[in-house]
Amino acid sequence: MQGPLIDTLARQGITRRTFLKYCATLASMMALPPAAGRAMAEAMAAARRPSVIWLPFQECTGCTESITRSHSPTLEGMIFDMISLDYQETLMAAAGHQAEEARHAAMKENAGKYLLVVDGSIPLGRDGAYSCIGGRSNVDILKEAAEGAAAIVAMGSCASYGGIPKANPNPTGAVSVSDIVTNKPIVNIPGCPPIPVVMTGVLAHYLTFGSLPELDEKGRPKAFFGETIHDRCYRRPFYDQGKFAKTFDDEGARMGWCLFELGCKGPVTYNACATVKWNGGTSWPVESGHGCLGCSEPDFWDAGGFYKALSVPADPLRIGAAAAIAGAGAGVAVSFANRAKKNVARQTHETLTVEDLEK
Ligand code: SF4
Ligand code: SF4
């Protein structure tokens, strides 16, 4: 395994073994077949660092905070070694005109090839005057930068769907990236903030295969958004048994029972928090005792009711519980069997080792 990137990593003391392990983990997270880890390692090691231009629009910087506070430096730091981050206002040393010049130079040199990352929504009210950089509106800058981009990553719920700025009454006329750009491949990585590993997974996929990963109907990578929080929640057995915490400090809450009745939106929220977790896999909101707010779904803020149980018909949700308790229900049994099968497959991926890759 040799190439420009692996040489850079070697100079930084990152061993081939660490790099292989990283690729194996990433491939497992993305539910790719075992051989993909090796292919990823080969492709990324030899890859030339693609130019990435990151535009921050109407946002709170939470998305940038999320990715810079992510996992160990040997994991997430690596991804930054795989790309040439040519413009990122929060992280770059340059400021003002110098920063704008750096962006224009990168766009010119890499026309048609750079990856554009956007976080934040785009305000259209008052001709875009609510958010400007260097005297130009976000919408102007986005249109210009999108023109030469090979693909666009809408990072976070604001860029993906408008997010909190778009919430009623939407005073700035905020919209999402895909409301403006319609002629480029766009991947949405929603979340408030988004999970850093999802971002690095998408970048790794792009570096390896030269394309964006498979997306769902809301433009999200299926590998990370293919299942609901509820599908993979460790409190799910309590849900299935009908054991629900009634307050945040009752005996049920102390026993780790399901938070459905306290407003958890896990059953209708697609994201990878329950499997990837946060802060280097330390924990995630439901594990910390709070229900999911549904932050990776469109219009989650306007949906509100964060502490109100979902008003979806109870039957489809609770049918699992009733049938499991009764030990009956063929349909439910099939669903449980399928879930068990999926788990076995996942565990197969999860037990991949560096040795497996090296074979
Ligand atoms: S309702 Fe929430 S806490 Fe309960 S099992 Fe589903 S995701 Fe977990
Ligand atoms: S648990 Fe729900 S609200 Fe919390 S970060 Fe994950 S998707 Fe968002």
Q: What is the pLDDT of residues 55-105, one digit of tens each?
A: 999 999 888 888 776 554 444 555 566 777 888 777 777 788 888 898 999
Residues at CB less than 6 angstroms from ligand 2: 191, 229, 269, 271, 273, 284-286, 292-296
Percent of the chain with pLDDT over 70: 80
Q: Atom 2 of ligand 2 has which residue's CA nearest to it?
A: 292
**What residues flank ligand 1, with Cβ below 6 Å?**
229-230, 233, 235-236, 239, 258-260, 264, 266-267, 286, 291-292
Is 8 domain-assigned? no
- Residue keyed to tokens 């040519």: 86
Specify the pLDDT at position 3.
Answer: 52
Residues 301 and 178 grouped into a single domain: no
Residue 196 has pLDDT above 60, yes or no: yes
Give the alpha-carbon dihedral of 165, 171, 177, 181, to 10 degrees.
180
Distance 259 CA to ligand 1 centre (A): 6
In this predicted structure, what is the pLDDT of residue 92? 76
Spatial separation of the C-alpha atoms in residues 332 and 69, rounded to whole Å: 41
Rounded to whole angstroms, the Cα distance separating 13 from 305 reads 49
317 alpha carbon, closest ligand: 1
Same domain membership, residue 194 and residue 246? no
Question: Is residue 42, in this structure, part of any structural domain at all?
Answer: no
* Domain count within the chain: 2
Same domain flag for 221 and 237: no
Question: Is 44 contained in some domain?
Answer: no
What is the domain range of residue 316?
229-350
What is the structure's pLDDT at 8? 67
Q: Does residue 136 sit in the same domain as residue 251?
A: no
| Cα Rg, the chain, nearest whole Å | 22
Most distant CA pair in the chain: distance in Å?
Answer: 69
Taking residues 324-335, report their average pLDDT.
34
Ligand 2: residue of 230, 295, 299, 307 to mutate (most ligand atoms within 8 A of CB) is: 295
* Cα(4) to centroid(ligand 2), Å: 37
What spacing in Å lies between the alpha carbon of 291 and ligand 2's midpoint?
A: 8
Q: Measuring from atom 8 of ligand 2, which residue has the nearest CA? A: 295
N-to-C CA span, the chain: 14
Question: Are 219 and 263 members of one domain?
Answer: no
Report pLDDT digits (tens) over 109-146: 999 999 999 999 999 999 999 999 989 999 999 999 99
Residue 345 lies in a domain: yes
Specify the CATH number for the domain of residue 87.
3.40.50.700
Q: What angle do CA 83, 87, 88 make, to 5 degrees?
A: 95
Specify the pLDDT at position 76.
Answer: 52
Segment among 42-56, 124-138, 147-161, 192-206 with least mean pLDDT: 42-56
> What pLDDT shows up at residue 261?
97
* Same-domain pairing of 115 and 241: no
Last residue of a domain, one of 206, 225, 244: 225
Backbone angles phi, psi at 149, to 5 degrees: -80, 145
Q: Residue 313: what pLDDT?
A: 44
- Nearest ligand by distance to the CA of 297: 2
CA angle 218, 223, 226 (to 5 degrees): 55
- Residue 265 sits in a domain of what CATH number? 4.10.480.10
- Exposure string (b/e) for 13-45, b if CB count within 10 Å is 16 or more? ebebeebbbbbbbbbbbbebeeebbbbbbbbbb
Ligand 1 centroid from CA 317, angstroms: 11
Tell whether 33 is covered by a domain: no
Q: Quick one: CA torsion of 338, 196, 57, 101, rounded to 10 degrees?
A: -130
Asked whether residue 218 is domain-assigned, the answer is yes
Query: Which pTM value belongs to this model?
Result: 0.80
Mean local confidence (pLDDT), 177-199: 94
Substitution site in 227, 239, 262, 270 for ligand 1 pocket (most atoms within 8 Å of beta carbon): 239
Q: Is residue 24 part of a domain?
A: no
Question: Of all atoms in ligand 2, which is nearest to the CA of residue 193?
Answer: 5
Lowest mean per-residue pLDDT among 126-130, 134-138, 290-294, 348-352: 348-352
Domain boundary (159, 192, 225) is at 225
3-state secondary structure (DSSP) of residue 341: helix
Within this chain, do residues 118 and 96 fall inside the same structural domain, yes or no?
yes
At position 265, the amino acid (one-letter code) is K
Strand order, beta sheet including 186-189: 84-88, 51-56, 114-119, 149-155, 186-189
Q: 278 and 200 in one domain?
A: no
* CA 115 – CA 150 distance, rounded (Å): 6
Residue of 227, 232, 258, 269 best suited for mutating to test ligand 1, as the one with most atoms within 8 Å of CB:
258
Nearest CA to ligand 1 atom 4: 258
- Separation of 292 CA from ligand 2 center, angstroms? 5
φ, ψ for residue 86 (rounded to 5)?
A: -85, -15
| Lookup: tokens for 101 | 């010049």
* pLDDT at residue 176, as a whole number: 98
Contacts of 11 (CB under 8 A, 6+ apart): none
Q: Give pLDDT tens digits for 33-68.
A: 777 788 878 877 776 678 889 999 999 988 888 877
CA–CA separation, 289 vs 309, rounded Å? 15
For residues 286 and 242, membership in a common domain is answered with yes
Question: Comparing 151 with 344, which gets the higher pLDDT?
Answer: 151
Q: Which of residues 173, 196, 225 is at a domain's end?
A: 225
What's the CA gap between 251 and 133, in Å, rounded?
A: 52
Kindly state whether residues 205 and 246 are assigned to the same domain: no
Q: Which atom of ligand 2 is nearest to the CA of 286?
A: 1
Percent of the chain with pLDDT over 90: 53
**For 245-254, which contacts have Cβ atoms below 8 Å and span 24 or more sequence positions?**
248/289, 248/290, 253/289
Do residue 203 and residue 336 come from a single domain?
Answer: no
What is the chain's mean pLDDT, rounded? 81
Per-residue pLDDT band for 4 (boundaries 50, 70, 90) equals low
Residues 248 and 152 in one domain: no
Cα 76 to averaged position of ligand 2 atoms, centre (Å) = 21
